[in-house]
Chain A
Amino acid sequence: MSDELKDEMRKLKEQIAAMKDQLKQMADEQRPKGRGIYIDIPSPVRDYVEDAMQGVAEGVHGELERSIFIGPRGCRIMRHGPPEGEEPEEKVSFDKVAAVMSALGHEHRLKILSELMSGGKYVNELQEKLSEITTSTLSSHLNVLEEAGLVVQEKVRGRYLVTIPGRTAYKMARRVTRFLEMRDQE
Protein backbone atom coordinates (compact mmCIF):
# COMPACT_ATOMS: atom_id res chain seq x y z
CA MET A 1 0.00 0.00 0.00
CA SER A 2 1.39 3.34 -0.97
CA ASP A 3 1.93 6.06 1.56
CA GLU A 4 -0.68 8.16 -0.21
CA LEU A 5 -3.29 5.42 0.16
CA LYS A 6 -2.37 4.84 3.82
CA ASP A 7 -2.83 8.53 4.50
CA GLU A 8 -6.24 8.43 2.81
CA MET A 9 -7.29 5.44 4.98
CA ARG A 10 -6.17 7.19 8.18
CA LYS A 11 -8.22 10.30 7.30
CA LEU A 12 -11.29 8.16 6.59
CA LYS A 13 -10.89 6.34 9.94
CA GLU A 14 -10.62 9.70 11.72
CA GLN A 15 -13.77 10.93 9.97
CA ILE A 16 -15.66 7.74 10.95
CA ALA A 17 -14.49 8.10 14.57
CA ALA A 18 -15.62 11.76 14.59
CA MET A 19 -19.02 10.82 13.17
CA LYS A 20 -19.38 8.05 15.80
CA ASP A 21 -18.59 10.54 18.56
CA GLN A 22 -21.11 12.94 17.07
CA LEU A 23 -23.83 10.24 16.95
CA LYS A 24 -23.04 9.17 20.52
CA GLN A 25 -23.31 12.77 21.68
CA MET A 26 -26.67 13.18 19.92
CA ALA A 27 -27.96 9.94 21.47
CA ASP A 28 -26.81 11.04 24.93
CA GLU A 29 -28.65 14.33 24.58
CA GLN A 30 -31.94 12.52 23.83
CA ARG A 31 -31.54 9.80 26.49
CA PRO A 32 -33.34 10.57 29.79
CA LYS A 33 -31.17 11.10 32.84
CA GLY A 34 -31.01 8.43 35.49
CA ARG A 35 -30.95 4.69 35.41
CA GLY A 36 -33.36 2.38 33.69
CA ILE A 37 -34.23 0.89 30.36
CA TYR A 38 -34.25 3.30 27.48
CA ILE A 39 -35.82 2.42 24.19
CA ASP A 40 -35.17 4.81 21.39
CA ILE A 41 -38.55 5.19 19.68
CA PRO A 42 -38.95 7.40 16.63
CA SER A 43 -40.26 10.80 17.68
CA PRO A 44 -43.88 10.69 16.28
CA VAL A 45 -44.50 7.29 17.88
CA ARG A 46 -43.01 8.47 21.17
CA ASP A 47 -45.21 11.55 21.18
CA TYR A 48 -48.28 9.43 20.53
CA VAL A 49 -47.42 6.96 23.31
CA GLU A 50 -46.66 9.79 25.74
CA ASP A 51 -49.99 11.48 24.96
CA ALA A 52 -51.87 8.24 25.36
CA MET A 53 -50.15 7.41 28.67
CA GLN A 54 -50.81 10.90 29.99
CA GLY A 55 -54.49 10.52 29.09
CA VAL A 56 -54.70 7.19 30.90
CA ALA A 57 -52.89 8.61 33.95
CA GLU A 58 -55.20 11.63 34.10
CA GLY A 59 -58.24 9.35 33.77
CA VAL A 60 -57.09 7.07 36.59
CA HIS A 61 -56.20 10.04 38.78
CA GLY A 62 -59.57 11.68 38.13
CA GLU A 63 -61.45 8.48 38.91
CA LEU A 64 -59.53 8.04 42.16
CA GLU A 65 -60.22 11.65 43.11
CA ARG A 66 -63.92 11.16 42.47
CA SER A 67 -64.27 7.77 44.10
CA ILE A 68 -62.12 7.78 47.17
CA PHE A 69 -62.41 10.25 49.98
CA ILE A 70 -59.44 10.06 52.30
CA GLY A 71 -60.14 11.77 55.59
CA PRO A 72 -58.36 11.91 58.94
CA ARG A 73 -60.13 8.78 60.09
CA GLY A 74 -59.72 6.58 57.05
CA CYS A 75 -60.99 6.32 53.55
CA ARG A 76 -64.46 6.02 52.13
CA ILE A 77 -65.22 4.61 48.71
CA MET A 78 -68.14 6.15 46.90
CA ARG A 79 -70.11 4.56 44.14
CA HIS A 80 -70.91 6.61 41.05
CA GLY A 81 -73.63 6.19 38.53
CA PRO A 82 -76.82 4.17 38.82
CA PRO A 83 -76.57 0.59 40.05
CA GLU A 84 -76.92 -2.14 37.47
CA GLY A 85 -80.47 -2.54 36.24
CA GLU A 86 -81.63 0.88 37.44
CA GLU A 87 -82.68 3.80 35.30
CA PRO A 88 -79.93 6.34 34.63
CA GLU A 89 -79.95 9.30 37.01
CA GLU A 90 -82.09 12.21 35.97
CA LYS A 91 -80.09 15.18 34.79
CA VAL A 92 -79.79 18.09 37.19
CA SER A 93 -81.39 21.21 35.78
CA PHE A 94 -78.99 24.04 35.04
CA ASP A 95 -81.11 26.59 36.88
CA LYS A 96 -80.68 24.59 40.10
CA VAL A 97 -76.94 24.34 39.50
CA ALA A 98 -76.87 28.07 38.83
CA ALA A 99 -78.76 28.74 42.08
CA VAL A 100 -76.18 26.80 44.10
CA MET A 101 -73.30 28.51 42.27
CA SER A 102 -74.95 31.87 42.84
CA ALA A 103 -75.18 31.15 46.57
CA LEU A 104 -71.48 30.33 46.57
CA GLY A 105 -70.60 33.32 44.43
CA HIS A 106 -69.86 35.86 47.13
CA GLU A 107 -66.69 36.29 49.14
CA HIS A 108 -68.63 36.84 52.37
CA ARG A 109 -70.68 33.70 51.92
CA LEU A 110 -67.54 31.68 51.27
CA LYS A 111 -66.05 33.10 54.47
CA ILE A 112 -69.20 32.12 56.37
CA LEU A 113 -69.00 28.58 55.00
CA SER A 114 -65.34 28.47 55.89
CA GLU A 115 -66.16 29.39 59.51
CA LEU A 116 -68.93 26.79 59.69
CA MET A 117 -66.64 24.05 58.38
CA SER A 118 -65.16 23.74 61.88
CA GLY A 119 -68.58 23.26 63.54
CA GLY A 120 -71.98 24.87 64.18
CA LYS A 121 -71.98 28.50 65.26
CA TYR A 122 -74.40 31.08 66.60
CA VAL A 123 -74.84 34.33 64.70
CA ASN A 124 -72.92 36.28 67.35
CA GLU A 125 -69.99 33.85 67.04
CA LEU A 126 -69.97 34.34 63.27
CA GLN A 127 -70.25 38.08 63.75
CA GLU A 128 -67.25 38.02 66.05
CA LYS A 129 -65.16 36.05 63.56
CA LEU A 130 -66.31 38.05 60.54
CA SER A 131 -66.26 41.55 61.92
CA GLU A 132 -65.98 43.10 58.43
CA ILE A 133 -69.57 41.95 57.68
CA THR A 134 -72.39 43.97 59.20
CA THR A 135 -75.10 42.16 61.19
CA SER A 136 -77.82 42.74 58.61
CA THR A 137 -75.56 41.65 55.73
CA LEU A 138 -74.54 38.54 57.64
CA SER A 139 -78.17 37.66 58.23
CA SER A 140 -78.96 38.17 54.56
CA HIS A 141 -76.03 35.97 53.47
CA LEU A 142 -77.11 33.24 55.88
CA ASN A 143 -80.60 33.32 54.38
CA VAL A 144 -79.15 32.89 50.88
CA LEU A 145 -77.02 29.94 52.02
CA GLU A 146 -79.96 28.38 53.84
CA GLU A 147 -82.29 28.73 50.87
CA ALA A 148 -79.71 27.03 48.67
CA GLY A 149 -79.49 24.15 51.18
CA LEU A 150 -75.85 24.80 51.98
CA VAL A 151 -76.50 25.58 55.65
CA VAL A 152 -79.30 24.73 58.07
CA GLN A 153 -80.34 26.60 61.18
CA GLU A 154 -81.41 24.87 64.37
CA LYS A 155 -84.73 26.36 65.42
CA VAL A 156 -84.39 25.78 69.15
CA ARG A 157 -80.82 26.85 69.84
CA GLY A 158 -80.38 28.93 66.69
CA ARG A 159 -76.96 27.62 65.66
CA TYR A 160 -76.09 27.49 61.98
CA LEU A 161 -74.63 24.24 60.63
CA VAL A 162 -73.08 23.51 57.26
CA THR A 163 -74.89 20.69 55.45
CA ILE A 164 -73.23 17.86 53.53
CA PRO A 165 -74.00 19.62 50.19
CA GLY A 166 -72.63 22.87 51.68
CA ARG A 167 -69.38 21.23 52.70
CA THR A 168 -69.07 19.52 49.33
CA ALA A 169 -69.76 22.74 47.42
CA TYR A 170 -67.21 24.66 49.48
CA LYS A 171 -64.54 22.01 48.94
CA MET A 172 -65.32 21.95 45.23
CA ALA A 173 -64.97 25.74 44.93
CA ARG A 174 -61.62 25.61 46.71
CA ARG A 175 -60.37 22.75 44.55
CA VAL A 176 -61.28 24.51 41.31
CA THR A 177 -59.57 27.68 42.52
CA ARG A 178 -56.45 25.78 43.52
CA PHE A 179 -56.35 24.09 40.11
CA LEU A 180 -56.60 27.44 38.32
CA GLU A 181 -53.92 28.96 40.51
CA MET A 182 -51.58 26.07 39.72
CA ARG A 183 -52.28 26.49 36.01
CA ASP A 184 -51.48 30.21 36.19
CA GLN A 185 -48.18 29.48 37.93
CA GLU A 186 -47.06 27.14 35.14
Chain B
Amino acid sequence: MILQHYELDDTVMRTTEPEVLLKTEKSLVEVDKDTLAVAVKSEGQPRGFVFQGKGRLVLDTIVETDEGAIGEPIERELDKPFLVLGDVAKSDRSLTVAAKEDLEKAGYADQKQFLEKAGSVLDRFGGRGKINDCGCSGEGGNSVFAFQNETGKLDLLVVSRSRLVYKASDVIFVADGDKTILKNPRHIALSKPHRYITHCT
Protein backbone atom coordinates (compact mmCIF):
# COMPACT_ATOMS: atom_id res chain seq x y z
CA MET B 1 0.00 0.00 0.00
CA ILE B 2 1.77 3.10 -1.22
CA LEU B 3 0.16 6.44 -0.57
CA GLN B 4 1.11 9.36 -2.70
CA HIS B 5 0.50 12.97 -1.75
CA TYR B 6 -2.14 12.23 0.77
CA GLU B 7 -4.24 15.03 2.18
CA LEU B 8 -7.07 15.49 4.60
CA ASP B 9 -10.56 16.00 3.29
CA ASP B 10 -12.04 19.34 4.22
CA THR B 11 -15.28 17.96 5.68
CA VAL B 12 -15.41 16.71 9.24
CA MET B 13 -17.77 13.82 9.83
CA ARG B 14 -19.02 11.98 12.90
CA THR B 15 -20.01 8.37 13.47
CA THR B 16 -23.71 7.74 13.89
CA GLU B 17 -23.17 4.23 15.30
CA PRO B 18 -20.40 2.51 17.25
CA GLU B 19 -17.86 1.32 14.68
CA VAL B 20 -15.55 -1.69 14.82
CA LEU B 21 -12.56 -0.61 12.74
CA LEU B 22 -10.58 -3.80 13.22
CA LYS B 23 -11.30 -7.21 14.66
CA THR B 24 -8.94 -10.16 14.43
CA GLU B 25 -8.13 -13.05 16.78
CA LYS B 26 -5.70 -10.86 18.69
CA SER B 27 -6.80 -7.30 18.05
CA LEU B 28 -9.79 -5.04 18.33
CA VAL B 29 -10.12 -1.34 17.53
CA GLU B 30 -13.49 0.30 17.98
CA VAL B 31 -14.92 3.76 18.36
CA ASP B 32 -18.13 4.93 19.97
CA LYS B 33 -21.00 6.77 18.38
CA ASP B 34 -20.36 10.51 17.80
CA THR B 35 -16.67 10.11 17.15
CA LEU B 36 -15.26 12.79 14.84
CA ALA B 37 -13.72 11.56 11.60
CA VAL B 38 -12.01 13.14 8.66
CA ALA B 39 -11.05 11.22 5.54
CA VAL B 40 -7.47 10.90 4.35
CA LYS B 41 -7.29 11.02 0.57
CA SER B 42 -4.61 10.14 -1.90
CA GLU B 43 -5.00 10.87 -5.59
CA GLY B 44 -8.58 11.80 -4.91
CA GLN B 45 -9.39 8.39 -3.39
CA PRO B 46 -10.25 7.81 0.27
CA ARG B 47 -7.38 5.89 1.91
CA GLY B 48 -8.19 6.22 5.57
CA PHE B 49 -9.40 8.40 8.40
CA VAL B 50 -8.29 10.38 11.37
CA PHE B 51 -10.69 9.66 14.21
CA GLN B 52 -11.21 11.38 17.51
CA GLY B 53 -13.67 10.47 20.20
CA LYS B 54 -14.08 7.64 22.62
CA GLY B 55 -12.51 4.44 21.42
CA ARG B 56 -10.75 1.35 22.55
CA LEU B 57 -7.69 -0.60 21.46
CA VAL B 58 -7.41 -4.20 22.70
CA LEU B 59 -4.46 -6.40 21.86
CA ASP B 60 -3.72 -9.87 23.16
CA THR B 61 0.04 -9.52 23.29
CA ILE B 62 0.41 -13.01 24.74
CA VAL B 63 2.84 -15.69 23.65
CA GLU B 64 1.65 -19.27 24.18
CA THR B 65 4.31 -21.86 24.93
CA ASP B 66 4.24 -25.51 26.04
CA GLU B 67 5.14 -24.35 29.54
CA GLY B 68 2.55 -21.61 29.86
CA ALA B 69 1.55 -18.20 28.58
CA ILE B 70 3.84 -15.17 28.64
CA GLY B 71 2.66 -11.56 28.54
CA GLU B 72 -0.67 -9.94 29.14
CA PRO B 73 -3.33 -8.16 27.09
CA ILE B 74 -3.13 -4.44 26.36
CA GLU B 75 -6.27 -2.34 26.74
CA ARG B 76 -6.10 1.33 25.87
CA GLU B 77 -8.69 4.05 25.77
CA LEU B 78 -8.38 6.02 22.54
CA ASP B 79 -9.24 9.61 23.38
CA LYS B 80 -6.61 11.37 21.24
CA PRO B 81 -6.79 11.69 17.45
CA PHE B 82 -5.52 8.56 15.71
CA LEU B 83 -4.86 7.65 12.11
CA VAL B 84 -6.17 4.64 10.22
CA LEU B 85 -5.07 3.81 6.70
CA GLY B 86 -5.98 0.92 4.48
CA ASP B 87 -9.02 -1.23 4.06
CA VAL B 88 -10.91 0.54 6.80
CA ALA B 89 -11.53 3.32 4.29
CA LYS B 90 -13.24 0.96 1.86
CA SER B 91 -15.90 -0.28 4.24
CA ASP B 92 -19.17 1.49 4.52
CA ARG B 93 -19.08 3.56 7.64
CA SER B 94 -22.02 5.11 9.43
CA LEU B 95 -20.90 8.71 9.01
CA THR B 96 -22.64 12.00 8.74
CA VAL B 97 -21.35 15.55 8.51
CA ALA B 98 -20.43 16.83 11.97
CA ALA B 99 -22.36 19.83 13.27
CA LYS B 100 -20.76 22.67 15.21
CA GLU B 101 -22.11 21.17 18.46
CA ASP B 102 -20.39 17.87 17.72
CA LEU B 103 -17.07 19.66 17.36
CA GLU B 104 -17.64 21.70 20.49
CA LYS B 105 -18.45 18.55 22.45
CA ALA B 106 -15.03 17.23 21.45
CA GLY B 107 -13.37 20.47 22.53
CA TYR B 108 -12.94 22.21 19.16
CA ALA B 109 -14.22 25.67 18.37
CA ASP B 110 -14.71 24.90 14.71
CA GLN B 111 -13.89 22.56 11.84
CA LYS B 112 -10.59 24.31 11.07
CA GLN B 113 -9.29 23.68 14.60
CA PHE B 114 -10.04 19.96 14.35
CA LEU B 115 -8.50 19.70 10.88
CA GLU B 116 -5.30 21.29 12.21
CA LYS B 117 -5.15 18.75 15.03
CA ALA B 118 -5.87 15.84 12.69
CA GLY B 119 -3.28 17.18 10.24
CA SER B 120 -0.62 17.17 12.95
CA VAL B 121 -1.14 13.39 13.41
CA LEU B 122 -0.78 12.91 9.67
CA ASP B 123 2.35 15.06 9.62
CA ARG B 124 3.87 13.08 12.46
CA PHE B 125 3.11 9.85 10.64
CA GLY B 126 5.00 10.83 7.55
CA GLY B 127 4.24 14.23 6.24
CA ARG B 128 1.47 15.35 3.99
CA GLY B 129 2.20 15.71 0.32
CA LYS B 130 4.95 13.10 0.43
CA ILE B 131 5.09 9.54 -0.86
CA ASN B 132 4.80 7.01 1.93
CA ASP B 133 5.09 3.28 1.88
CA CYS B 134 2.81 2.20 4.69
CA GLY B 135 4.34 -1.22 5.11
CA CYS B 136 1.58 -3.43 3.73
CA SER B 137 1.45 -4.71 0.22
CA GLY B 138 -0.07 -7.46 -1.87
CA GLU B 139 -3.24 -9.12 -0.61
CA GLY B 140 -6.15 -7.22 0.82
CA GLY B 141 -7.02 -6.95 4.50
CA ASN B 142 -4.26 -4.45 5.18
CA SER B 143 -4.60 -1.72 7.76
CA VAL B 144 -2.19 0.64 9.45
CA PHE B 145 -3.06 2.41 12.69
CA ALA B 146 -1.06 5.19 14.31
CA PHE B 147 -2.01 6.04 17.89
CA GLN B 148 -0.55 8.92 19.88
CA ASN B 149 0.87 7.80 23.20
CA GLU B 150 1.45 9.77 26.42
CA THR B 151 4.83 10.99 25.23
CA GLY B 152 3.32 12.37 22.02
CA LYS B 153 4.99 9.74 19.87
CA LEU B 154 3.10 7.33 17.63
CA ASP B 155 2.43 3.69 18.46
CA LEU B 156 1.97 1.69 15.26
CA LEU B 157 -0.27 -1.27 14.56
CA VAL B 158 -0.03 -2.98 11.18
CA VAL B 159 -2.45 -5.77 10.38
CA SER B 160 -2.49 -7.90 7.29
CA ARG B 161 -4.75 -10.97 7.40
CA SER B 162 -3.24 -13.33 10.01
CA ARG B 163 -0.21 -11.10 10.51
CA LEU B 164 0.00 -8.38 13.09
CA VAL B 165 2.78 -6.07 14.20
CA TYR B 166 2.44 -3.70 17.12
CA LYS B 167 5.21 -1.31 18.02
CA ALA B 168 4.79 0.93 21.03
CA SER B 169 7.34 2.65 23.24
CA ASP B 170 7.64 -0.31 25.60
CA VAL B 171 6.13 -3.23 23.66
CA ILE B 172 6.91 -4.93 20.39
CA PHE B 173 4.56 -7.73 19.41
CA VAL B 174 4.59 -9.68 16.17
CA ALA B 175 2.15 -12.46 15.30
CA ASP B 176 2.28 -14.41 12.08
CA GLY B 177 -0.16 -17.30 12.26
CA ASP B 178 1.01 -19.45 15.16
CA LYS B 179 4.42 -17.77 15.36
CA THR B 180 4.70 -14.94 17.87
CA ILE B 181 7.35 -12.59 19.19
CA LEU B 182 6.97 -10.40 22.25
CA LYS B 183 9.32 -7.88 23.77
CA ASN B 184 8.09 -5.93 26.75
CA PRO B 185 9.84 -4.58 29.87
CA ARG B 186 9.60 -7.99 31.57
CA HIS B 187 9.99 -10.54 28.79
CA ILE B 188 11.50 -11.35 25.48
CA ALA B 189 9.75 -14.38 24.03
CA LEU B 190 9.71 -16.09 20.66
CA SER B 191 7.37 -18.96 20.01
CA LYS B 192 6.33 -21.31 17.26
CA PRO B 193 4.52 -24.64 17.67
CA HIS B 194 6.31 -26.80 20.25
CA ARG B 195 9.35 -24.56 20.37
CA TYR B 196 9.97 -21.36 22.21
CA ILE B 197 12.70 -19.19 23.65
CA THR B 198 12.03 -16.86 26.53
CA HIS B 199 14.08 -14.50 28.61
CA CYS B 200 12.86 -12.70 31.69
CA THR B 201 14.48 -9.29 32.07
Contacts and interface: CB of A to CB of B under 8 A. Distances in A.
Interface of A: 71, 73, 120, 152-157, 161-168
A161 B58 contact: no
B25 interface: yes
B62 interface: yes
Main DSSP-derived SS at the B contact region: strand
30 contacts: A71-B66, A73-B195, A152-B69, A152-B71, A152-B72, A152-B73, A153-B73, A154-B62, A154-B73, A155-B58, A155-B60, A155-B73, A156-B23, A156-B24, A156-B25, A156-B26, A156-B58, A156-B59, A156-B60, A157-B25, A161-B64, A161-B69, A162-B68, A162-B69, A163-B69, A164-B68, A164-B69, A164-B198, A165-B68, A167-B68
B58 A152 contact: no
Given A73-B194, A155-B73, A167 B58 contact: no
A71 B68 CA distance: 14
A152 B23 CA distance: 20
A153 B65 CA distance: 15
Nearest to B65: A164
Nearest to B28: A156
B70 interface: yes
Q: A-side binding surface: helix, strand, loop or mixed?
A: mixed
B132 interface: no
A61 to B, nearest CB: 23
A128 B141 CA distance: 35
Contacts of B68: 161-168
B67 interface: yes
Nearest to A146: B72
